Structure 1
């Protein structure tokens, strides 16, 4: 399919002679099929009491789906291939600046749900397992990001199909990955992962290998650009700091660094030289900003013209020419209150107007000046 599309898009007409390279590829593929013995595919498929395992994968060029049926019986519980689907990604979409492999993998999951609905109409299905090697797609499905209509539409479609158990699988174990890797027919014929899926699927659910959730979450965060340093992985993974317990912004930042990096044994170690550097402080402060932005809504994005920076933090547009100079958008709450008190302290407890000017240098909140007056 990829070769056919490349020839078609090169402007070659139906009766034109192929270029030397294209002709060589066609002849090589034809010879590969001629040298391959016959491939036998069983025609009988049970219509009831079977589990479906749908594997999906995507690249910048194509999307692949492989569906396996598995039925518990005394004779055999081995899964077998019953459905395969591949779909090319148009060059126009692939060259789009907003196009990423993570988006294509999310589209592959959506395509898998469409196939599941079709197979449910054709046979009686007991359980459905949907497998993807994209940690980003799993994260989007569980919690769609704010401000992306494409991702929202795909996740809404996926959530509309009920009774699906979503699982993560390693890339090396994903049979759908074969759809766009140019496997020769002779190799494909003897590929057990192609025709029977993963070997451990014959076992009960309890014996399936499970990847540690923390490792998957770490790759999710790295793909989103959330992880700046490995010692901050845990903080981004689970932010559970109760800011109501603290009375100053520096203590929130230091405690967040403590529970995130795991390198600090006690709060007193923050005061020791070499234990908590300025770089650590600045990196952790961004995590606290992310906590303050956890309640950003689509209405806030559109109303205040918010954009994401390189660290995936919301910033407020203004008259500044560089994104790095934009102030961080802060939702009203306990963290916003601590930020105002910190700015008020830096201006030596001056007026609310001067505190507001200091606050605007790095942070921005809606109706900031009246809100600052209520805090002070």
Structure 2
């Protein structure tokens, strides 16, 4: 049996082959791409222009992208823009044959034009094959099972992740589990690479065909990667000094490091040494949250006037005054151990479980995982409230009434827009059980009273007809003078 379909980039070799044993030069594929044997380069076949065949739809968009076959990922920076656009169409729940119009249509026209230019990018064939004859002969005799990998290197362009992977300190549970999973493999070295020198960043952000052709980073990788391993670039202390990176790194530590050395001070500059009630007000005598805040705010204004401090002189309280009064009551009696752990750097379970930190108003706030969400700052970092305090009960009751006596879930959701209560659902449920209004409308009907015993005449032995009664089957008419009345 003779081998056929021979082809080579050498014209001299092709001329030595019989015509019947040669393959079609224009239909040759290498690594899933077309191969131009005249200049020995490979390139990708351009996608068809779907814009010329009527309206643009999600079906046609997918069809055009599916025509681009790039198993080696050479043209990923150009194709990824189309895939991101298609992903946006899926998120909008568009149907297959819905027309793409407006800004989306203009965007797809621009992307489609770039996809049709993709054939302009050509790659020397040896990039995807072995570099020389010596390597060919060596690799050909090895299989996947016989290859020995002595060392593995993983790069990341996130300084915070690199510090998590490199640190010996204890991290919080979620991050610790991820780090252990990554570092469980042996013989792996983790290195840092800046975004400007990361080729993978080109493939994820997308680029134009014209820029891809001259992108040295994509085709040749960073120059230092071709040098000796010991000379590879590593992260410097100056790079790690970024304040945002340090804050994010420390937020996941289990042990407190480099805490504030200054003492906690109140708004008037005095150190916080006592958790007494503001102005010795007995909060247990208040049944309304609004009344408690207003009374405190009026006392604040009165004291400011006595001290001749510039204050609001209008008839009504301002929002600023009520918010200041609210802060007077938050965390005044509770969380002394949390304040102390932040001040001294000691370990506290609540502090690490909820990511508690001290804000500019000396209030304990919880660091949730919504820092990058498009929500208010109070929702990102809610104020920590104690469970069993009267202030918390008044706040829950006030919120419950504002929502027209809604259920536990709705009440708790509104509270968490600003405050965080440990075991919040159980706390809110316990407080709402004592709502008298809810009991009236949702508590059900009253229980039937206990039945009285039968009268003695009904349970004693007697002769037949010993007791008789007469039923008139209706009212008795009595004549009162000239008028008939019912009796």
Tell me if TM exceeds 0.5.
no
- Between Structure 1 and Structure 2, the one with more helix by share is 1
Structure scoring higher RCO (CA < 8 A, sep ≥ 6) equals: 1
- Between Structure 1 and Structure 2, the one with more strand by share is 1
TM range (shorter): 0.3 to 0.5
TM-score (structure 2 length as normaliser): 0.33
Q: Larger radius of gyration, structure 1 or 2? A: 2
TM-score (structure 1 length as normaliser): 0.42
